[in-house]
Amino acid sequence: MKRKLIFLLLTVAVVLSLSYGVYAVSENRTAELAFRDIKITLNGEEFTPKDANGKTVEPFIIDGTTYLPVRGVAEALGLLVEWEGSTFTVKLSVPEDAKPVFITATGKRYHYDDHCNGGTYWEVPLSSALGMGLTPCDKCVLKVGSD
Ligand SMILES: [Zn+2]
């Protein structure tokens, strides 16, 4: 009886370690994808995300989370996208020549207009503003048709 219990405990331990190992590395899962003709807009303008070959990629929902194709969305936002297949890493970066933006000492937003709300503004690269966690200004950056 004691021998059976030890064998059972060892079996449970091996199964747990194997399943943990599989979970930590990589796995295939089965999911139900809900396609609902999801639309994406940027500054109020609808756009259709494409893959690296220019083929349309349709967004979908899994368990209440909406999944968008990262390349199509990131490129629409002006970001550079790289796929590193050896590590399964999506690398996003702000291009060196991205338009500079303006920030204030205490503001939570970055601006295209250095007189947006009055006060003192400093010009910084967009990557710096994003790195500080600032979000685009509704008045001068997200304004439809602005540049
Ligand atoms: Zn602004």
Q: How far is the CA of 47 from the centre of ligand 1 (A)?
A: 24
Exposed, middle or buried: residue 17 (CB in 10 Å: 0-12, 13-18, 19+)?
exposed
Q: How far is the CA of 66 from the centre of ligand 1 (A)?
A: 29
Between residues 135 and 96, the one the model is more confident about: 135
pLDDT level of residue 62 (50, 70, 90 thresholds)? very high
* Mean pLDDT of the region 17-24: 48
Phi, psi dihedral angles at 123 (to 5 degrees): -80, 130
Other CB atoms closer than 10 Å to residue 129's CB: what's the count? Answer: 23
pLDDT level of residue 147 (50, 70, 90 thresholds)? very low
Query: What pLDDT was estimated at residue 84?
Result: 95
Q: How far is the CA of 147 from the centre of ligand 1 (A)?
A: 12
pLDDT in tens, 81-134: 999 999 999 999 888 777 889 999 999 999 999 999 999 999 998 888 888 989
CA-closest candidate to residue 93, choices 107, 83, 102: 83
Cα–Cα distance for residue pair 42/77, rounded to 1 Å:
8
Other CB atoms closer than 10 Å to residue 39's CB: what's the count? Answer: 9
Q: How far is the CA of 87 from the centre of ligand 1 (A)?
A: 39
Rounded to the nearest integer, the mean pLDDT of the chain is 81
SS3 46: strand
Handedness of CA 45, 48, 54, 59 (dihedral sign): positive
Cα–Cα distance for residue pair 77/106, rounded to 1 Å:
25
* Mean pLDDT of the region 10-37: 67
- Tokens 């204030």 -> residue: 104
**Least reliable range by pLDDT among 22-26, 74-78, 126-130:** 22-26
Q: Is the predicted pLDDT of residue 6 greater than 50, yes or no?
A: no
What global pTM score does this model have?
0.55
Q: How far is the CA of 76 from the centre of ligand 1 (A)?
A: 21
Give me the amino acid identity at 115: H
Q: How far is the CA of 134 from the centre of ligand 1 (A)?
A: 12
Query: What pLDDT was estimated at residue 88?
Result: 93
Number of helices (H), then strands (E), in the chain: 3, 10
Query: What pLDDT was estimated at residue 77?
Result: 81
Q: How far is the CA of 118 from the centre of ligand 1 (A)?
A: 10
Q: How far is the CA of 101 from the centre of ligand 1 (A)?
A: 10
- Taking CA atoms, 55 is separated from 13, 51, 52, in Å, by 47, 5, 7
Query: What pLDDT was estimated at residue 143?
Result: 73
Query: What pLDDT was estimated at residue 76?
Result: 82
* DSSP classification of residue 106: S
